[in-house]
Structure 1
Amino acid sequence: MTKATKKPPKSGNELRRRVLDEHAIDSTAALALLDVAAQALDQALAAEAVLTKEGLVVPGSRGPRPHPAAAIARDARMRLLAAMKSLHLEL
């Protein structure tokens, strides 16, 4: 499968398995970073599932406000990107 036809991983475990299959990662620090990336992906996917079900906004005392899951998804994606960048892996 070429890079252009690969589908994004559907879980942190799948991300971890793919990275370990494609790259020689053997240091404890790199494995810890990979675990951070996998956990962040799982959190982002869970938050995005909540947003899909509940919508992007929730009622607030002063009117609609962003759903808290939007910030969780954003922060998790940022952790995922930072961990992948630290591992020098292409996205």
Structure 2
Amino acid sequence: MLTVTSKDVTKIAYDKVGQGPSLILVTGAFSYRRFPGQVQLVNLLSEHFTIYNYDRRGRGDSGDTQSYTIECEMEDLQAMIEEAGGSA
């Protein structure tokens, strides 16, 4: 497990698997990076891509803050984009 720090200092947990162009996977509202279907998808895609599979804030091994905002979710994704090479 790796972590990246979001703009509000929240730690975001992720796994990095595979090789090739970067691909960031964003799970659904009730999922996390180790959900069996998510792991299966990572295994299929990692043959062709470097997969960044992260836990959205408040899920899995990622941290959270008192007040939720969609802007925080966007900042988390921006931190992942920067970690993956800077563009999406």
Per the TM superposition, whether the score is higher than 0.5 is no
Larger radius of gyration, structure 1 or 2? 1
TM-score when normalising by structure 2: 0.30
Counting strand residues as a fraction of each chain, which structure ranks higher?
2
Q: With a CA cutoff of 8 Å and minimum separation of 6, indicate the structure with the bigger relative contact order.
A: 2
TM-score when normalising by structure 1: 0.29
